């Protein structure tokens, strides 16, 4: 959990839908992992997100999982799901780093990499 410029950000890391996650409140943006065996399935992640209900969620660390299952499960929940390309093709190299301040100001993110939000 991180508060930056008045925004509450949650980064799940490798976790499951434990009571502490389900009890989160007033989250502006959440970054939620889904990738077995160390994190949740897309279905479990969607159930957890629906419970703690952030305004926006970015699924990440999902290689090998169907992120569209996650997004579909949250349709109509009121949670905005933002899908990013965490695993871009190697030829994509002309990028600009978006600072945390820019993220909080809701600048458009065109794709993401682990640890960095990038925009072309």
Domain count along the chain: 1
- Cα radius of gyration rounded to whole Å, the chain: 14
How much is the pLDDT for 109? 43
The angle subtended at Cα 75 by Cα 70 and Cα 78, nearest 5°, is: 115
| Position 100 confidence tier, pLDDT thresholds 50, 70, 90 | low
How much is the pLDDT for 64? 83
The residue assigned the tokens 């905005």 is 80
Q: CA 38, CA 90: separation in Å to the nearest integer?
A: 26
How much is the pLDDT for 70? 95
Please say whether the beta carbons of 7 and 28 come within 8 A.
Answer: yes
How much is the pLDDT for 27? 97
How much is the pLDDT for 84? 86
The residue assigned the tokens 């994190």 is 39
Strand order in the sheet with 29-33: 2-4, 7-11, 29-33, 56-60, 80-81
How much is the pLDDT for 50? 97
- What CATH number is attached to the domain comprising 53? 3.60.15.10
| Tens digit of each residue's pLDDT (9 = 90 or more) over 30-87 | 999 998 888 899 999 999 999 999 999 999 988 888 999 999 999 999 999 999 887 7
How much is the pLDDT for 118? 46
Whether the predicted pLDDT of 24 surpasses 50: yes
**In which domain, by residue range, is 70 found?**
2-119
Please say whether the beta carbons of 28 and 55 come within 8 A.
Answer: yes
Compare 91 and 46 and report the one with higher pLDDT. Answer: 46
């Amino acid at each position: 959990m991180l508060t930056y410029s008045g925004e509450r950000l949650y980064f799940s890391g490798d976790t499951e839908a434990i009571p502490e996650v389900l009890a989160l409140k007033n989250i502006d943006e959440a970054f939620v992992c889904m990738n077995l065996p160390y994190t949740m399935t897309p279905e479990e992640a969607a159930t957890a997100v629906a419970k703690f209900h952030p305004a926006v969620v970015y699924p990440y660390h999902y290689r090998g999982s169907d992120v569209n299952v996650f997004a579909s499960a949250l349709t109509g929940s009121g949670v905005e799901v933002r899908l990013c390309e965490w695993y871009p093709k190697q030829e994509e190299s002309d990028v600009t780093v978006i600072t945390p301040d820019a993220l909080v100001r809701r600048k458009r993110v065109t794709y993401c990499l682990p640890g960095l939000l990038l925009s072309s």
